[in-house]
A and B are shown apart, each in its own frame.
Chain A
Amino acid sequence: MLSFILRRLAIAIPTLLILVVFSYVIMYAAPGGPFDMERTLPPEVMANLEAKYGLDKPLIVQMWNYVYNVVVHFDFGPSFMYKDQTVNDIVSQGFPVTLTYGFWSFVVATVVGMSLGIMAAVYHNSWLDYVAVGISIGAQVLPNFVMAPILVLIFTLWLGWLPGGGWQGGQWQYIVMPVIALSTSFMASIARLTRSSMLEVLNANYIRTARAKGLPMRRVIFRHALKPALLPVISYLGPAFVGMITGSVVIDMYFSTGGIGVFFVNSALNRDYSVIMGITILTGALTVLFNLVVDILYAWIDPKIRY
């Protein structure tokens, strides 16, 4: 197991390097640069800007300097757009925000989604099943950019219970609506996955045997059915978790949370090269990491899997 983990971590390094090179090339291939604006800057002003940010050097030199600074100094460079900030500043401010609402969204989506799925499977074709399926379909078809304005309309304007946006260091009032908006569609997917895989497992012979032995239903479900039923769910949860903690531009835009998602999208639009790279690497590294975590969980759940 340990050698498996080490091997996977070793592969992560070239993976991330390839990611850096690809992103760099694609980014530079996109038309326009960070300092292009409505007003064409006089050549001398443009030259000063390019010199300050190293854009006057050949691409390969820029890339090498970038990787060198990241590896040796853990310095992701200054933002080209937010001139008083470095990429490290932006990520260290935005990522904790995203991590917080992403984590809670994950918890809510997983707990509620799995409960709904299990309930629907166990009470298959009963009204409980229909309610659970109904909720998950409803949650699935309501995208978060529709959810967000509706939530604010209800909880801020009509009821006056929650502030319409902001973060304020992560006080609970500010977390509730982002978490609801972000978690619902994940919750729906988890519920449907859990339900179908649970249904399959519940029809398996060994479950019939367990029930024939006279085991109580609760024990059958939690002891015998749940673990194997979770396998497909877990392979979904890994990427879903990364998706939630690396930010949602919709959540950040609608709730002004200041998370990483809105920085990522804006950096692409503004050609803020260093921020694009910084967040790409962060997302890439987290994806590699959580795919590994999923694989480890797999081995733990399914004894048939050996590495």
Chain B
Amino acid sequence: MNLKATLSLTAAAMVLATTALAGGTHPVTGEALSDNQTFTYRLLDQFPTLDPQLNEETAGGHVIRDLFEGLMIQDADGNVIPGVAESYEASNGNMTYTFHLRDAKWSNGDPVTAQDFVYAWQRAANPETASPYAWYVELTSMVNAKEIVAGEMDPSELGVKAIDDKTLEVQLTQPLPYFPAMTTYATLNPVHQATVEEFGAKWTDPENMVSNGAYTLTAMVLNEYHTREKNPMYWNADSVIIEKTTGYVINDVNQALTRYKAGEIDHLEPLPPGQYPALKAEMPDEASSVPRLCSYYYAFNLRPDAKPEIQDPRVRRALTLAIDRDVIVNQILKGGQWPAYNFAHLKTAGFEMPEIDFAGMSQKDRDAEAKRLMEESGVTDLDIKLIYNTSESHKQIATIVSQMWKQKLGVATTLENMEWKTYLNVRRDGQFDLARSAWCADYNEASTFLDLLTTTHGSNDGKFSNAEYDSLMTASKTSDNPNEMYTKAEKIISDESAIAPIYHYANTFLLSEDIKGWPYNNAENNWYSKDFYRVAE
């Protein structure tokens, strides 16, 4: 055996020895841990960016949550717990927040300072950054945020300053009791100023990126895969068990399912449409359905120049009542979704479900009431246009709903499907009678849904407008008990039939039996690889 072979054998033996050490037992649960502490999962699409300030979607959010750590983070139940901030105080009636930072380090060994947060937050608002999520900074109500995004003020005027290296002070324009929770989101994560300035847009490349989360980015190939590996500089690295997380982009869901069954990935989400019951029967310990904070609804076009019949609340209510949601949920979707009679997702934190009268009725009674209302309105031979973006399940739902309307009310429906961007444009321009729509929570609080139907909201494409509703939503912002107002707001939506709610989403997924620590109770489905571990088989 030559020297080279001997050396490589020794190296191999050493690698084996270290991986054996990675085994052992879980410090809390005492379960035997696998030697292989890796986690692999499927991504539907390539995420557009890993720059926390530019990110605007979920897939990138999952990665950024591992790579960067904000002031606060979430635990497995979705509770807000300290991240880089060890503690904070609210003062001035929830208009000033002071965060105290722990001794955390960047992956290159530099300390994480309050100045890093100031830099990142100013960067998010800076028009030159042109972040599509700049509105999130406005949403935090930080002093001058709106003016800075609009280019009317210098980013340095933002209401956040570093008192010293470890103390960050934030000034808000209105009292926001949930401000600390908002710091868990990517937009408000810190970034390493020197790295961003040195590499520009390329700072997120694996060879350049400096991050402060539990993991660092070690490989990234667009539309193929990326890997993130344990960051030894992370302040809580001792408690991190998973050594390496890999995300594979697999566009086709059936292909992804085959690869899951072949053991190539540990996690697959979402499952192929309609297949949840079969997969649950086949793999009961691996298939799950959990709430997902999104609501599916049909928006009525309430513009003054829109179809006059739709302006009649009785007609809208008849159309809403005639939809048999149980059929949609149990026969088409079959993934644990909930029939919806209100707007905000029923699992939204702190949200008290309002009493919606027709929720408790039988479908037969609803149909009778729908017929009665239709007759009362005097509308006959109604022909409406329903638009939706091209997708098999939207098509199925639209088809079955149009049949229900035809049979029960004699209403003719013209279905029009269009490609996503076209559909967005048509919907925004109001060229529809009804539009398939969905809204997902930006944060786990009912206002994320209910704000949508305020008169000035940019995504209120049905143009519902109700003065009482608007004032309720404004008042809820500073109220100690906003849920009371949310319930009233929902009542208005129902009474006016502002929209036709259809169902509340669920997330269906498969997770390998070896992987433990999944946050099943985090309603936002936010997960951190650092909370997972792989048990020995």
Contact indicator B251/A31 (Cβ below 8 Å): no
- Interface flags, A28-59, vs B, CB<8A=1, else 0: 00111101111111101101110111000000
Tell me, yes or no, whether B238 is within 8 Å of chain A by CB. no
Tell me, yes or no, whether A199 is within 8 Å of chain B by CB. no
- Interface flags, A144-186, vs B, CB<8A=1, else 0: 0000110011001100100111110000000000000000000
Flag the segment in B217-225, B324-332, B483-491, B514-522 that touches A: B217-225
Give complex CA distance A204, B424 in Å: 62
A132 CB, min distance to chain B CBs, angstroms: 31
Q: A47-B151, A256-B224 are in contact. List 6 more A-B contacts (CB 8 A).
A: A36-B421, A42-B138, A84-B54, A153-B258, A167-B224, A258-B224
Given contacts A256-B224, A256-B248, contact A157 B262 (CB under 8 A): yes
- From B132, B224, B461, A49 is in contact (CB under 8 Å) with B132
Closest Cβ neighbor of A90 among chain B residues: B222
Contact indicator A263/B223 (Cβ below 8 Å): yes
Residues from chain A with a CB closer than 8 A to the CB of B45 are 266
Flag the segment in A15-23, A63-71, A75-83, A297-305 that touches B: A75-83
Q: Tell me the B406-423 residues at the A interface (CB within 8 Å).
A: 419-422
Residues from chain B with a CB closer than 8 A to the CB of A263 are 222-223
B119 CB, min distance to chain A CBs, angstroms: 18
Contact indicator B224/A37 (Cβ below 8 Å): no
B129 CB, min distance to chain A CBs, angstroms: 8
B38 CB, min distance to chain A CBs, angstroms: 15
Contact indicator A32/B425 (Cβ below 8 Å): yes
Contact indicator A48/B134 (Cβ below 8 Å): yes
Considering the complex of A and B, which 4 residue pairs feature the smallest CB-CB distances, nearest first? A32-B421, A258-B224, A40-B458, A52-B130
Contact indicator B224/A51 (Cβ below 8 Å): no
Tell me, yes or no, whether B250 is within 8 Å of chain A by CB. yes
Give complex CA distance A47, B127 in Å: 9
Tell me, yes or no, whether B467 is within 8 Å of chain A by CB. no
- Interface flags, A230-253, vs B, CB<8A=1, else 0: 000000000000000000000011
B90 CB, min distance to chain A CBs, angstroms: 27
Give complex CA distance A82, B422 in Å: 21
Give complex CA distance A32, B419 in Å: 10
Q: Tell me the B442-501 residues at the A interface (CB within 8 Å).
A: 458-459, 461
A134 CB, min distance to chain B CBs, angstroms: 28
- From A47, A84, A93, B202 is in contact (CB under 8 Å) with A84
Closest Cβ neighbor of A148 among chain B residues: B255
Number of A-B contacts (CB under 8 A): 160
- From B131, B254, B421, A31 is in contact (CB under 8 Å) with B421
Residues from chain B with a CB closer than 8 A to the CB of A256 are 223-225, 248-251
B455 CB, min distance to chain A CBs, angstroms: 14
Residues from chain A with a CB closer than 8 A to the CB of B428 are 36, 40
Tell me, yes or no, whether A24 is within 8 Å of chain B by CB. no
Contact indicator A85/B222 (Cβ below 8 Å): yes
- From B138, B222, B458, A82 is in contact (CB under 8 Å) with B222
Residues from chain A with a CB closer than 8 A to the CB of B149 are 42, 44-45, 48
Tell me, yes or no, whether A94 is within 8 Å of chain B by CB. yes
Contact indicator B425/A149 (Cβ below 8 Å): no
Tell me, yes or no, whether A13 is within 8 Å of chain B by CB. no
Residues from chain A with a CB closer than 8 A to the CB of B255 are 148-149, 152, 164-165, 254-255
A69 CB, min distance to chain B CBs, angstroms: 16
Q: Tell me the B429-448 residues at the A interface (CB within 8 Å).
A: 438-440
Give complex CA distance A256, B259 in Å: 12
Given contacts A31-B421, A156-B262, A258-B222, contact A84 B252 (CB under 8 A): no
Tell me, yes or no, whether A9 is within 8 Å of chain B by CB. no
Give complex CA distance A90, B254 in Å: 26
A91 CB, min distance to chain B CBs, angstroms: 11
Give complex CA distance A82, B258 in Å: 28
Tell me, yes or no, whether B12 is within 8 Å of chain A by CB. no
Tell me, yes or no, whether A274 is within 8 Å of chain B by CB. no
Contact indicator B223/A31 (Cβ below 8 Å): no
Residues from chain B with a CB closer than 8 A to the CB of A153 are 258
- From B56, B203, B252, A254 is in contact (CB under 8 Å) with B252
Given contacts A39-B458, A45-B149, A262-B251, contact A164 B424 (CB under 8 A): no
Residues from chain B with a CB closer than 8 A to the CB of A195 are none
Provide a sorted-by-A list of 14 A–B residue pairs whose CB atoms are within 8 angstroms: A32-B420, A33-B421, A37-B424, A38-B424, A42-B149, A44-B127, A45-B130, A47-B151, A82-B222, A86-B201, A93-B222, A149-B252, A153-B258, A257-B223
Given contacts A31-B426, A42-B138, A149-B255, contact A164 B262 (CB under 8 A): yes
Closest Cβ neighbor of A263 among chain B residues: B223
Instruction: Give the interface size bracket for B toward A.
Output: 35 or more
Tell me, yes or no, whether A5 is within 8 Å of chain B by CB. no
Tell me, yes or no, whether A192 is within 8 Å of chain B by CB. no
Give complex CA distance A32, B418 in Å: 12
Contact indicator B459/A39 (Cβ below 8 Å): yes
Contact indicator A31/B425 (Cβ below 8 Å): yes
Residues from chain B with a CB closer than 8 A to the CB of A258 are 221-224, 249
Tell me, yes or no, whether A269 is within 8 Å of chain B by CB. yes
A231 CB, min distance to chain B CBs, angstroms: 39
Tell me, yes or no, whether B171 is within 8 Å of chain A by CB. no
Residues from chain B with a CB closer than 8 A to the CB of A148 are 255
- From B50, B131, B440, A84 is in contact (CB under 8 Å) with B50
- From A37, A82, A163, A165, B46 is in contact (CB under 8 Å) with A82
Closest Cβ neighbor of A272 among chain B residues: B48
Residues from chain A with a CB closer than 8 A to the CB of B420 are 32, 269
Find the residue from B46, B128, B428 having the highest chain A CB count within 10 A.
Answer: B46
Residues from chain B with a CB closer than 8 A to the CB of A266 are 45
Residues from chain B with a CB closer than 8 A to the CB of A164 are 255, 258-259, 262, 264
Given contacts A82-B48, A85-B222, A166-B248, contact A38 B258 (CB under 8 A): no
Give complex CA distance A53, B201 in Å: 14
Give complex CA distance A254, B128 in Å: 38
Contact indicator A253/B459 (Cβ below 8 Å): no
Contact indicator A35/B259 (Cβ below 8 Å): no
Give complex CA distance A241, B461 in Å: 47
Give complex CA distance A53, B127 in Å: 12
Tell me, yes or no, whether B150 is within 8 Å of chain A by CB. yes
Contact indicator A253/B221 (Cβ below 8 Å): no
Give complex CA distance A157, B225 in Å: 20
Given contacts A35-B132, A41-B458, contact A165 B250 (CB under 8 A): yes
Residues from chain A with a CB closer than 8 A to the CB of B223 are 94, 252, 256-259, 262-263
A193 CB, min distance to chain B CBs, angstroms: 31
Tell me, yes or no, whether B51 is within 8 Å of chain A by CB. yes
Given contacts A35-B132, A84-B49, contact A152 B221 (CB under 8 A): no
Contact indicator A269/B421 (Cβ below 8 Å): yes
A100 CB, min distance to chain B CBs, angstroms: 13
Tell me, yes or no, whether B205 is within 8 Å of chain A by CB. yes
Given contacts A44-B150, A45-B132, contact A81 B259 (CB under 8 A): no
Q: Tell me the B253-272 residues at the A interface (CB within 8 Å).
A: 254-255, 258-259, 261-262, 264
A250 CB, min distance to chain B CBs, angstroms: 9
Given contacts A32-B425, A52-B128, A94-B223, contact A83 B201 (CB under 8 A): yes
- From A30, A39, A82, B49 is in contact (CB under 8 Å) with A82
Give complex CA distance A166, B225 in Å: 8
Contact indicator A163/B264 (Cβ below 8 Å): yes
Give complex CA distance A86, B202 in Å: 9
Closest Cβ neighbor of A36 among chain B residues: B424
